[in-house]
């Protein structure tokens, strides 16, 4: 077999291939995935930029986000529900207790969905609604 491919005196076209990036599969810990997914939801960068920053394809990050929405990837590392901030609208007067009991509204905004619960809501009913929202979201 000739060695003309490496002979600098042999004219013609030679092929040079440069491979960059990480070779083979990488293993990501659940904590690293959760941190990257949380960063992608922060709103500071778009998903493609977050993926590029961590050496991922956007499709892989979208897959992790889907897993998180389906409950198969815990975003806070321990699988427990995370707390979200409560936003209360300021009003001029406080509502009387009787009116608050009958006209109370609980509004939950999550992943583009809005759930409103009016009137008295028992703890069991609220837990059932939150479980359904978690499944859908």
Give me the residue spans of the domains in the chain: 27-80, 97-136
Give the model's pLDDT for residue 79: 46
Q: Of the candidates 55, 39, 80, which has an alpha carbon nearest to the alpha carbon of residue 47?
A: 39
Give the model's pLDDT for residue 69: 87
C-alpha 36/C-alpha 50 separation (Å) is 7
**What integer best gives the mean pLDDT of the chain?**
74
Q: Report the predicted TM-score, pTM, of the whole model to 2 decimal places.
A: 0.42
C-alpha 95/C-alpha 129 separation (Å) is 26
């Amino acid at each position: 077999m000739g060695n003309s491919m490496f002979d600098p005196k042999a004219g013609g076209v030679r092929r040079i291939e440069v491979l960059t990036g990480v070779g083979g599969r990488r293993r990501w810990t659940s904590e690293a995935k959760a941190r990257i997914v949380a960063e992608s939801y922060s709103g500071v960068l778009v998903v493609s930029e977050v993926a590029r920053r961590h050496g991922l394809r956007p499709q892989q990050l979208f897959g992790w986000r889907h897993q998180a929405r389906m409950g198969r990837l815990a975003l806070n590392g321990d699988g427990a529900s995370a707390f979200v901030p409560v936003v209360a609208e300021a009003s001029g007067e406080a509502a009387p207790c009787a009116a608050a009991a009958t006209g109370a509204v609980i509004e939950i905004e999550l992943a583009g969905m809005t759930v409103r619960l009016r009137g008295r809501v028992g703890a069991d009913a609220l837990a059932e609604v939150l479980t359904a929202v978690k499944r859908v979201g």
